[in-house]
Amino acid sequence: MNALSALGEALVLIGTFFYFLSTLGLIRMPDVYNRMQTSTKSATLGSLGVVIGTGIWAVGNGMSWAWIVQTTAVAGFILLTNPISAHTLIRAAYKRGIPLWHGSVVDKYAEHLAEKSPDEEVSE
């Protein structure tokens, strides 16, 4: 086993650990907003670890260096789209009226909507 293979396997294991944390976040968090936040961060890091680790592992096992380029492109796409899609889903849930957890003490979006003047409103 060479150094690139070992590094790739380590990144895949780290990514798998973040997937596990994401699963725990889905189970343990009290409402949809907290669940989405924890699962998005952990799943993004998990995906990055697994995808980049796979590319490095493939190069370490004699495959083309194109694997690094391809897996980096996939990782970049995940890094850009996963948080944006989670934000969109959370905003839709808020606008749909899904309540916050009763222990939530701050609702900055409600404060923002309350201080917004009618002239500034844009159809959302």
> Left (φ > 0), alpha (ψ -120 to 50) or beta: where does 70 sit?
alpha
The pLDDT of residue 48: 94
Residues 90 and 117 sit within 8 Å (Cβ to Cβ): no
The pLDDT of residue 47: 94
Q: What is the pLDDT of residues 85-123, one digit of tens each?
A: 999 999 999 889 888 888 888 888 888 888 876 655 555
Mean pLDDT of the chain: 88
Which string of DSSP letters, residue by residue, matches 56-86? Answer: HHHHHTT--THHHHHHHHHHHHHHHHHHHHH
Name 101's Cβ contacts closer than 8 Å, sequence gap at least 6. Answer: 30, 31, 33, 34
Output the pTM of the full model: 0.78
Q: Which of 17-26, 42-51, 57-66, 104-113 has the lowest mean pLDDT?
A: 104-113
